[in-house]
Each structure stands twice: as structure tokens, then as C-alpha cells.
Amino acid sequence: MENFAERRNKVRRVIEKQKLDALLITNSLNVRYLTGYTGSAGSLLLQPDGDTILSDPRYTIQIEMECPGLEAVISSLTIPTSKTLAKLLGKTGRLGIEAESVTIAEQGRLFQHLSNWESVPTKSVVEELRQIKDRYELARIRQAIDVADSAFQYVRSQLKPSMSEIDICNMLEHQMRLLGAKDRSFPSIIAAGARAALPHATPTAQTSVGQSHLLFDWGAVVDGYMSDLTRVLIFAPQNRKLRTVYETVLAAQQAAIAAIKPGRVCKDVDTVARNIITEAGFGKRFGHGLGHAIGMQVHENPRFRSSDESVLKAGMVLTVEPGIYLKGWGGVRIEDDVLVTKTGYEVLSRNVPKSFEAMCQG
């Protein structure tokens, strides 16, 4: 089970370090991470001597079910949150707010009745804790990968050249739900032939008839945690250009994965893959970062990109997804989800085939 109290205690230590008297968590994912509460409206007030969920009457029963033992304050919809906060906080102090979650207008309303309180913007306090996944989180990510993999294998078994990108997308996402996914991690990318040159292609009526390859970029959400994978099905195994591009991307990905370990700087891992693609003559055709962390969101920090100087730590989970994109011809991207371990790495999606031969569609 998730240890929400321990997570909140970690945040409390940050509060003490920053000399705050309280911290108001308004990002819904951060509230869920710290409490288990999945409602669409609510915030969490963390104080040295206790924690309080603030919400409205729609979620009274839900909070009791999802957050047993945690104090809750249910306000009438007509009472401003600032009045409720004023009663909980006392006369004066320093209140931290999530600067990336609260707008200027919302901040004004929050402090309308807190004239003696100082507003202290904080940045990524909870998000930085979320970077390191615990056993529970890793188990959910593994499940999300398994669901995505099984759905993909089912689609491969049912695939016909006459099926459109939209048809394939609908089948894939429906299958993920049948296998236990609550949702897709993001709108699935299904791109045939030349359309695979679009890194974020939207599925269309295009079919695979006469095309050399078909790109899939997809993921599943299981208990709030996400997977993110990319594979390319090969329809023309004798196509030398396709093999060259594919094996270049695969070599870059494998080298970058092998470079992952605690203490490595994110931008250096990006460089490993980028150098291989550049040496093969495709450097200008790899126009995005190598990867990103995943968890409760499909794009989290840190990132594998040339500007990210974050240091890898055990417990982080990141994607590794180099690609080569050629206008008018198509593109190849291969993506896996990788855990940083104490001694190196573990490819969590290692059971999803990716060799050129394995991706050849009969």
C-alpha cells in the first residue's frame, strides 16, 4: 500500500527547511500523491502539527473512503476558501503556495482574508519527491506497461493493411481498457509511411496499403500511473533504407540505455544517442529530446535533453526514445521505459520486442 503519511512527512521536512508555517497544495496530482484523494476539486493544507483536506460537499463521502483518518474541512460552495484558510491558519505566518499551480487571480482570492500572512511561492516541492518512485508506484508502472504491451500484441494479430490509422487507434485504446487501463496516457499516435515523419501525428483515414512501415506511440494508465512506448511495424523488410534508419535508431537507443546509471547527467545520456545518429548522417533529422520521466503524468522531470543538467537518481523512471524523421519518406522512433537502479538501469518494457526482425509484420 501507498504510505501517504510518509510522503507528507517528507514534504513537511521541506516546509521546515524553507521556514514556512504552512504549505497549500493545489495541484490535483500532488494532492492525490500525498493523500490518495482522486476528486476533481480540493486542496491540501500541510502544517507542522497536522494536515487538512479542503473540498466541497460533493466529495464528503469520497474523502471519507479514500482518506481515512485525515482531517477534512468541507466548505459550503458560497464560503470563500480564504475564509476557511483564515480559520485554520491563525493570525500570522508564512504560507507557501504552488507557484506553478496557482494563478495571480487565485492567489488574490486565497489571501483576501489573510492580510497578515505572507505569500511564499514554491516551485516543484512535491514534483521533486515524485521523481523517485517507490515500490507501489513501480508496480503500477509495470502494470501499465504490461497492459500496453498486451493491447499492442492483440492489435498486431488483428492488423490488416486496409485498416485506417483511426481504426487501429480505436482498437488499441479499446483493448487497453478491456485489459484494465483506466485511460490512455495520451492520444495514441498511429502513423503510416510518410506520415510517420510527424513525431506527434494524429491518426487519419490513411491505411497501410503500399506503405513500408507503421509507427505506434501509445501508453496505458493503471491506478493513476502511466506507460509510454513506441514501436514500428515493418511491412517491407527488404527496404534497405528502412533497415538502415531503423537499426541506426535502435543502436542509438541501446547505447543511451546502457549509459544510464545514478550520478549521470541527463544531457550526457542525450548526447550518447545524438552522436550515433549524427555520425550516421541523420543528426538534423533528430529534432527532439531523447526522453522524459513518467509517472502520474506522461511528461515529467527530469528530461533527457541537451539543456537538462539534472543528475539521475535510483528510483527515477524515464523514457528513451530517439528518432529519425525524413520528410516525404517517414520516420522511425523506438521508445522504452527505463528504471534507474542503484547500480545502473532496468528496462521495464524489455518484454516488448523491438529488433528489426521481430517488428516485421507477416
198 and 321 fall within a common domain: yes
Tell me: the pLDDT tens digits for 53-100? 999 999 999 999 999 999 999 987 666 678 888 889 988 999 999 999
Q: In 3-state terms, what secondary structure has residue 22?
A: strand
Q: For 29, phi and psi rounded to 5 degrees?
A: -70, -35
Give the pLDDT of residue 109. Answer: 85
Grade residue 110 by pLDDT with cuts at 50, 70 and 90.
confident
Give the pLDDT of residue 282. Answer: 98
Residue 361 domain flag: no
What pTM value is reported for the model? 0.95
Residue 352 domain flag: no
Tell me: the pLDDT tens digits for 159-209? 999 999 999 999 999 999 999 999 999 999 999 999 999 999 999 999 999
Tell me: the pLDDT tens digits for 245-289? 999 999 999 999 999 999 999 999 999 999 999 999 999 999 999
- Residue 231 host element (H or E): strand 229-234
For the residues 295-312, what does the mean pLDDT come to? 98
How would DSSP label each residue in 42-73? -EEEEETTEEEEEE-GGGHHHHHHHSTT-EEE
14 and 154 fall within a common domain: no
155 and 62 fall within a common domain: no
Give the pLDDT of residue 38. Answer: 96
Q: In 3-state terms, what secondary structure has residue 209?
A: coil
149 and 39 fall within a common domain: no
142 and 76 fall within a common domain: no
Give the pLDDT of residue 300. Answer: 98
Q: Is the pLDDT of residue 332 over 70?
A: yes
Residue 310: exposed, middle, or buried by beta-carbon count in 10 A (0-12, 13-18, 19+)? middle
Instruction: Please state, rounded to an integer, the average pLDDT across all residues of the chain.
Output: 95
Give the pLDDT of residue 90. Answer: 85
Residue 247 domain flag: yes
Looking at the chain, the whole-number percentage of residues with pLDDT higher than 90 is 89
More confident call, 147 vs 49: 147
Pairing type for strands 93-98 and 71-74 reads: unpaired
Question: Which residues touch 17 (CB under 8 Å, ≥6 apart)?
Answer: none
342 and 212 fall within a common domain: yes
For the residues 347-356, what does the mean pLDDT come to? 97
For the residues 97-119, what does the mean pLDDT come to? 89
Give the pLDDT of residue 83. Answer: 84
Residue 360 domain flag: no
CA–CA distance, 357 with 42 (Å, rounded to integer): 50
253 and 299 fall within a common domain: yes
The CATH number linked to 281 is 3.90.230.10
Give the pLDDT of residue 168. Answer: 98
For the residues 227-249, what does the mean pLDDT come to? 98
253 and 112 fall within a common domain: no
234 and 335 fall within a common domain: yes
181 and 256 fall within a common domain: yes
93 and 195 fall within a common domain: no
Residue 236 domain flag: yes
The CATH number linked to 18 is 3.40.350.10
Residue 362 domain flag: no
169 and 316 fall within a common domain: yes
What's the structural domain count of the chain? 2
Give the pLDDT of residue 350. Answer: 97
Which of 90, 113, 130 is where one domain is finished? 130
Residue type for 267, please? K
Range of the domain at 68: 4-130
Residue 356 domain flag: no
Residue 359 domain flag: no
Which of 102, 130, 158 is where one domain is finished? 130
More confident call, 93 vs 110: 93
Which of 130, 164, 196 is where one domain is finished? 130
Give the pLDDT of residue 78. Answer: 65
